[in-house]
Amino acid sequence: MRRAPVLTLGVALALLGVLALLGQGGASPAALARVALALAAAAALAAWAWRSRGGGPRRFAGPPRLQVVQRVGLGPRTGLALVEVDGQAYLLVHGERFARLRPVARPAPAPGRRLEVAR
């Protein structure tokens, strides 16, 4: 069972109960409206807090498919980025009015190691 309908039903029952209790005491309609508005605001705030902390439904399950590994600025409006998409590495050169994407043929060497040049 989904949580949202259960939460809505619980808030509605609590609201009806409070209204019934206040209605028996001869409370004015304005006081009942204020109580109803306060309960609705509290329920909305609780729902927002629950969703903002990750309690809502997951839209994107699984590991991320795109990751920016490293980014370097080449000029004021030009840059170079190493991105990984679905396990494949790409170099992305981008500027104010252009972008070029090139696949990386082989992985880069570990830091401190020199790249071997084929002769």
What integer is the mean pLDDT of 49-62?
69
Confidence of residue 43 (pLDDT cuts 50, 70, 90): confident
Confidence of residue 1 (pLDDT cuts 50, 70, 90): very low
**Could you tell me which of 59, 63, 60, 114 has the C-alpha nearest to residue 87?**
63
pLDDT the model gives residue 22: 61
What integer is the mean pLDDT of 42-70?
77
pLDDT at 26 over 60: yes
Give the C-alpha distances (Å, rounded to integers) separating 115 from 79, 106, 108, 111. 23, 11, 8, 10
Please tell me whether the overall predicted TM-score, pTM, comes out greater than 0.75 for this model. Answer: no
Domain-by-domain residue ranges, the chain?
A: 3-55, 66-103
